[in-house]
Structure 1
């Protein structure tokens, strides 16, 4: 067995060496703060081998050399290695909580002329932010004409484009959305449906790296960031929770994934208030808002 294969983490047609894997992991961490352990070697191999073949490269070492020089290929790598598992109303208890506990006061505020902002951070292909908008419209069918907006962001530009297009297979939609809502808010296009004007009016899609600068001013009344932080190390998670606390209005809500928990310094500002739901504490008297 060659020295190359002895050092392979995954020994396929193109051996993935420890050095190759560590180079890829370091670049992914630098770009997106996504933490890869050696246990992810087979995933990295299966996702990136398609890129090597498409580019007619002979080794992962050649691919790493290309990544160091080509920002576009770095973006391709990020798209290949980020997981986009989603569906409409995934983890439905959050939407039920949003509907029963949070929206009544927010929509009353909007009907008085107030501003309401919600954020889907890590929106993937759009199912989550459109589910948020559908929940709002179920509460108030006139909400699209109020100052109620949903920001949808993701690091992967391909996912942002898919969400902005808003086209989904009708069969998949029908599994999670009641027929009346499906008929009203999605336009039929053959075997697919496209998000209609009311949904598009409420949801704005933008590319955003959660571990980079956040240009939006906020504050937000509600933030969904579910099953994203699990890909970050502890320090990155702690910093993310603090940034969310900064962007939430006092009393605002943060929904996170079923295997995630807020800890670190942000836990003094975000109190557990339901199943993977946290609420921003009011600032102590005399502190800056």
Structure 2
């Protein structure tokens, strides 16, 4: 097995990410700093060191996963939550039950906090229900940043309406920090999508966008079945614009003809 194959096998087993032979440049660029710190010449010399060092394995996996995100990325899913999703979910839930929302692959937190701001904006439309948002990711460093809720000028300019910047952020030196009520709406936790998610409970809404595109078909099916099992009957799963469930699972159906949101048919969701 070559060094590339050894690292690719490790990354797939730990994260589900599939690295084809055309991704050699990714190993060269993203692992360069780790190799330099350890005093070895590139990822080829790094591979043998990974075999018995779990901390180093985690560092390499984290370096190779993509953490691109921004506030209100692709506004259509957020509009759907506000205008269609929440009214449907509220109509079918007991009066005092909180809405539970999962932002999977949350990275540095912009998606989870976008949802928190969205629900804050909805106000009376929530009929007094509490909203609990969980943000998870396999990468520890981005999650640490997410918990801080502190973003650069560049980051708040990407997708965040100016009105929301003024309303929900406070300036700190050259950065912007989300106000505490919004930060308190979100819990961030390190989590691997390949793990058993039973302990997380059930959710009304799951955002898992632009993640499946990095997996091979068997891993996509595995993750989709896991996500489906975590949805309440009638719950909603939001995927990325380029992602689909076709040929991967029969447990989900599109909502209202949209290609990015799916639901668990109420009669089919029986997983506890």
User: What TM-score comes out, normalization by structure 1 length?
Assistant: 0.85
Per the alignment, residue 251 of structure 1 pairs with: 234
Inter-partner Cα distance in structure 2 for 1:284 and 1:33: 27
| Offset at residue 141 of structure 1 (A) | 7.0
**Conserved in 1, the CA contact under 8 Å of 2:27 and 2:43?**
no
| Offset at residue 170 of structure 1 (A) | 3.2
Q: How large is the Cα RMSD of the aligned pairs? A: 2.4
| Offset at residue 221 of structure 1 (A) | 0.5
| Offset at residue 176 of structure 1 (A) | 2.5
**Conserved in 1, the CA contact under 8 Å of 2:8 and 2:18?**
yes
The alignment covers a number of residue pairs equal to: 269
**Conserved in 1, the CA contact under 8 Å of 2:28 and 2:42?**
no
User: What TM-score comes out, normalization by structure 2 length?
Assistant: 0.91
1:280 aligns with 2:254: no
1:209 aligns with 2:192: yes
1:68 aligns with 2:51: yes
The higher radius of gyration belongs to: 1
Inter-partner Cα distance in structure 2 for 1:209 and 1:101: 30
Inter-partner Cα distance in structure 2 for 1:159 and 1:283: 38
Query: 1:215-268: per-residue Cα shift (whole Å, max 9, x none)?
Result: 5342110000011111111101001111111111111111111211113463x2
Inter-partner Cα distance in structure 1 for 2:260 and 2:14: 27
Query: 1:109-156: per-residue Cα shift (whole Å, max 9, x none)?
Result: 88932221000000010000001111111111797x842111000000
The higher-RCO structure (CA 8 Å, 6+ apart) is 2
Inter-partner Cα distance in structure 2 for 1:210 and 1:98: 23
| Unaligned residue ranges in structure 2 (runs of 5+) | none
| Unaligned residue ranges in structure 1 (runs of 5+) | 1-17
Alignment of 1:1-289 (within 5 A): 19-58=2-41, 60-106=43-89, 112-140=95-123, 146-264=129-247, 266=249, 268-273=250-255, 274-283=258-267
